[in-house]
Structure 1
Amino acid sequence: MNDQDHYATLGVPRNADLNAIKKAYRKLAREHHPDMSKAPGAEARFKEVAEAYATLKDPEKRAAYDARDQHPAGEPFSPPPQWGQDHATNGSAFEEMDIEALLAAMGRGRHARHGPQPRNGRDFDTSVRISLEDAHHGRSVHLSLDDGGHERTLEVTVPPGVHDGQKLRLRGQGGKGQHGGADGDIYLHITLAPHRVFRTDHQDLSFDLVLSPWEAALGTQTEVPTLDGPVLLTVPPGTRSGRKLRLRGRGLGNGRRAAGDLYAVVQIDVPATLTGRERELFEALAQDSAFHPRDVPQGAPA
């Protein structure tokens, strides 16, 4: 404890009330805080202001300070022997000072913004399994979310053209933000259920088209399925097993005008049992046909 006059340090009269003392302290502390002032001696002056405020804001310490001596204001104070033991700050002035009020006045601290801090809402990760038709056309799904113990059901739209493994970000559909914070997002992971007819390869689809030997040999027109309904496909004569017949733009949509392609993969099947007439026809074909599927073309590797 030095001999400073605390009232003079804060620039207030000896009968100043607590509000006047606090107001004077905030003004001086803001002026002389080392982070705010680069003037020589600013830090020392700040410590004097803090020490004066630590004494005068406490009624017991102020009463003892006022009673220690009735010297004229502004003159050096010589404290009695017990003062140092009973009322010295022992370096605790900064602990006792109203540092939150000071930092708030300087635009810092927890309460500088005058209220709770904004907090963004919670993000959710969830998944949904949809059919290939739903991926092609789009659909609405209902999601159940547990937002901090509050169960809520949300209807969201899965747009046309999603693919297996895709992750959709639904902005602002997650947990609610607090105190002005942004709402959270939902990250929706898409999985496609296996289809009974179609296989997927990104936006392209394929399926097995089973033909009879005579359909493959003579050619035919046959109705085939697509995600938008059946269409008529022309099978050219001499179509072999394994050939892919392409239907352009009949695959999985991508959310825009373009779509993948649909491939009909030819598989040739034969009757498991033959009628008498069918056997006669196949035997006649076997006798008359020059086709030998196992012959190796000349020049081809053996």
Structure 2
Amino acid sequence: MEYKDYYQTLGVERGASADEIKKAYRKLVRKYHPDVSKLSDADAKTKDINEAYDVLGDAEKRAAYDQLGRGHRAGEQFRPPPDWGEQFDFGGGGADDIFADLFAHMGRGRHARHGGHQMRGEDIHAAVRIDLRDAYHGGSRTVSLRMPHRDGHGRVTMREKTLDVSIPKGVTPGQQLRLAGQGHAGAGGGQAGDLYLEIAFNADPRYRVEGAHVYENVPVTPWEAALGASVSVPTPSGSVEVTVPPGSQSGRKLRLKGRGIPAAHPGDLYLILDVVLPPANNDRARELYQAMAREMAFNPRTA
């Protein structure tokens, strides 16, 4: 049999606390989940991560694993001592059977029957991408997850599960939506785990989001910036009329209070002015620029 270093798999020290192990597991699952990761070996990595957490996330299994694996390195071939299984009560089975359960099977998120008791299924963590507009108005998404399934013969396959998810108005990046009972199935009639979907926004060149605040670049002409103007600006919540103050420069921020994401504490919408010069691509345009150069005598490097 081949020894697997589960601490190494999760990237934690052997003395890590239960909270540290759980935090490392959740971080890695989000990173390598096949629905999120583009890596070709995402399935295999997710399997290894689940396997490691199935053991290290259970205090009794972890103690048995530490006792058995002391002094061994990942990849080494070895057999447990004949009397090893007598040290731990796992509800029947010899040492080799226990060892195979701890080291050779995919992590089952504690679905397995343990001593005949009901056990709650493991939670699942995944990511869902939405448009910024969905955060303003709410919406829905169809989410497909690839989940491990164990048949009656102990074989594990990946199955696709499709869910229709309602996106509530006011969600922000990093917020998690909890779908009760949509995680891994429980064992022995135990309750199913939950599905946690972490919100991420699709990239949009028009907007930048920080928490509930939204930043939007607004192009304006030189005369609108210099003389002031009222301009119509499309925003995620609809078009608004905005007053550009006279003498505005590129980079000036106009704050629209409460016009950001309508979260529990609504954010603000910041409009960042971007002065855009018309091209000098014909004779008349060049004449106008030449007249400005003669009559205004403006030098921004000495102003």
**TM-score band, normalised by the shorter chain?**
0.5 to 0.7
The alpha carbon displacement at 1:224 in A equals 0.7
Residues 236-275 of structure 1 aligned to structure 2 (within 5 Å): 236-254=245-263, 256=264, 258-275=265-282
Alpha carbons of structure 1 residues 217 and 144: separation in structure 2 relative to 1, 3 Å: closer
**Partner residue of 1:192 out of 194, 201, 204:** 201
Q: C-alpha separation between the residues in 2 aligned to 1:151 and 1:234?
A: 51
- Asked if structure 2 preserves the Cα contact closer than 8 Å seen for 1:227 and 1:250, the reply is no
Which of the residues 172, 175, 179 maps onto 2:181?
A: 172
Alignment partner of 1:235 is 2:244: yes
Q: 1:140 maps to which residue?
A: 140
CA offset digits 1:203-232 (Å, max 9, x no partner): 111122222211111111111111111111
Pick the structure with greater CA Rg.
1
Report the AA paired with residue 132 of structure 2. L
- Any conservation in 2 of the 1:222–1:235 contact (CA below 8 Å)? yes
Note the alpha carbon deviations across 1:189-215, whole angstroms, 9 max, x for none.
Answer: 222110131111221111222222111
Deviations 1:150-180 (A, max 9, x none): 7543322232222223333323332344555
CA RMSD of aligned residues (A): 2.6
> In the alignment, residue 266 of structure 1 is paired with which amino acid?
L
Give the structure 1 partner of residue 154 of structure 2.
none
How many residue pairs get matched? 180
Does residue 283 (structure 1) correspond to residue 283 (structure 2)? The answer is: no
What do the CA deviations read for 1:85-109 (whole angstroms, capped 9, x no partner)?
xxxxxxxxxxxxxxxxxxxxxxxxx
Deviations 1:41-94 (A, max 9, x none): xxxxxxxxxxxxxxxxxxxxxxxxxxxxxxxxxxxxxxxxxxxxxxxxxxxxxx
Query: How far, CA to CA, are the matches of 2:204 and 2:178 in structure 1?
Result: 26
Q: TM-score, with normalisation over the residues of structure 2?
A: 0.52
Q: Could you tell me whether the CA contact under 8 Å between 1:226 and 1:251 is conserved in 2?
A: no
Question: Who is 1:12 aligned against?
Answer: none
Which residue number corresponds to residue 73 of structure 2? none
Structure 1 partner of 2:300: 293
* 1:284 to 1:156, Cα distance in 2 relative to 1, 3 A: closer
Q: CA deviation at 1:290?
A: 5.8
CA distance in 1, matches of 2:144, 2:275: 48
Aligned counterparts of 1:151 and 1:194: Cα–Cα separation in 2: 26
- For the residues of structure 1 that align with 2:254 and 2:285, how far apart are their CA atoms? 29
SS at match of 2:217: strand
Q: Helix, strand or coil for the counterpart of 1:265?
A: strand
| Contact map agreement 1:138 1:159 (CA 8 A) in 2 | yes
Scaled by the length of structure 1, what TM-score is found?
Answer: 0.52
Structure 2's unaligned 5+ residue stretches are 1-114, 151-158
Q: Which residue of 1 aligns with 2:112?
A: none
Q: Is the 8 A contact 1:129 1:193 kept in 2?
A: yes
Q: d(CA) in 1 for partners of 2:229 and 2:277?
A: 16
Correspondence list, 1:42-81, <5 A: none
Shift of 1:233: 1.0
Tell me which residue corresponds to 1:44: none
Contact residue 279 and residue 285 of structure 2 kept, 8 A: no
SS of the residue aligned with 2:267? coil
Tell me which of the two structures has the higher relative contact order, counting C-alpha pairs closer than 8 angstroms and 6 or more residues apart. 2
Change (3 A) 1:199 1:171: same
Superposed, which structure 2 residues align to 1:197-216 within 5 Å?
197-216=206-225
Alpha-carbon distance in 1 for matches of 2:142, 2:289: 58
